[in-house]
Amino acid sequence: MIFDMQLTGARKPPHPVELRIDLMSIAFFTDEDARGPILVHYHIFKNAGSTVEYALRREFHEFFSTFEGPHPNSILTYDQLVEFVKSNPLLRAVSSHHLRYPTLRDDLRPVIDICVLRHPLDRLFSVYRFLREKYSGKSDLLHQAASELGCAAFFRQCLEKYPAWMRNVQVGILGPGDPSSAPAALAELSRIALLATTDFFDESLVVWEYALFPVFPGISLHYLAQNVTHSTPSTLESRLEELRRLCGRSLYDELLGANAEDMQLYEVASRMVRERFHQRPDCSQWLEEFRERNRALAYRCRTSLRARWRTRFPKHLDYSSQD
């Protein structure tokens, strides 16, 4: 576990949201009536949310739950979350696509909120590829358009017919539901306890483990990536270059302009997560240890799968020459 490592650097003062987590843990262990903090993951579509959910489900088992509305476009409020948690008092972690900010973080049960943001054009490109290549749910207009249209034609049609899906989606989730409410979203951003960006993901989870230790000692958030739309590893820069090539400069710039407030939010979040990571002593050592756990988990899953297939088809499959 990451917390068993011998760290040599002096501990720096905690970030304000980490201090709030420390105070939560003090209240939890001293107040007989306290039920303890709860992790609440705001699952933004195609922002590594399924990967975060994978790690939370593995760590908390039956004390984890999803919290979703009855329809794909449902919107759930904090009051509805409170009622859900009251009816499930043993929960320690919740993930929801439909829950919206703002969050009252020090209410009946203290909330430690989790949110992952993404470069808005990288996110849109991932949405397109997911709908076109991997979506297995009930077909809808967006899925049909992605299946039938090339990348440029898809985004032109969506900008005209479905602007709510194309413009400042992340600002709309952090703000009061209005995609032009950047000031409110930026204010909310500064209060998020566990923040990440998809292009600084491992580094962010290293910080999450460190910050959560007072409340959940030994928590481990290493993962197998879920719902990945690129079959081979790629960088943010290479994906944006591919999108620019497929769309052409004019449409690419139009998409960028349509998401100017999301870009501002993402850029501020990027600075914040990098600052938090580099504030941690021995951050590079922690990161390597975290990635080693990821590699070990992937190896265990791969060898387990091969063993099951050998048992099922011993005469037909031979993996002896592979790693």
Q: Which amino acid is at 19?
A: L
List the domain boundaries for the chain: 2-119+180-234+262-312
Instruction: Measure the CA dihedral 68/113/135/201, to 10°.
Output: -170
The tens-digit pLDDT sequence of the chain (323 residues) is 333 333 444 445 556 666 666 666 655 555 544 578 999 999 999 999 999 999 999 999 999 999 999 998 899 998 899 999 999 999 999 999 999 998 876 566 789 999 999 999 999 999 999 998 877 666 678 888 898 999 999 999 999 999 999 999 999 999 876 656 899 999 999 999 999 999 999 999 999 999 999 899 999 999 999 988 766 778 999 999 999 999 999 999 999 999 999 999 999 999 999 999 999 889 999 999 999 999 999 999 888 766 665 666 555 544 444 43
In whole numbers, what is the pLDDT of the chain averaged over residues? Answer: 86
Task: Look at residue 317 in the predicted model and tell me its pLDDT.
Answer: 47
Tokens 């979506």 -> residue: 135
Please state, in angstroms and rounded to a whole number, the distance separating the CA atoms of residues 8 and 6.
6
Comparing CA positions, the residue from 151, 135, 304 lying closest to residue 227 is 135
Please state, in angstroms and rounded to a whole number, the distance separating the CA atoms of residues 207 and 287.
9
Tokens 């009061």 -> residue: 176
Strand ranges in 198-278 using DSSP code E only, listed in sequence order: none
Cβ atoms of 270 and 204 closer than 8 Å: no
What distances in angstroms separate CA 32 from CA 25, 36, 212, 299, 316, one per listed residue? 13, 10, 21, 43, 60
**Two tokens, residue 68:** 């979703």
Element containing residue 197 per DSSP (H, E): strand 194-197
Task: Look at residue 110 in the predicted model and tell me its pLDDT.
Answer: 85
pTM: predicted TM-score of the whole model, two decimal places: 0.85
Cβ atoms of 47 and 70 closer than 8 Å: no
pLDDT digits (tens, 9 = 90+) for 214-258: 899 999 999 999 988 766 778 999 999 999 999 999 999 999 999
pLDDT digits (tens, 9 = 90+) for 175-214: 876 656 899 999 999 999 999 999 999 999 999 999 999 8
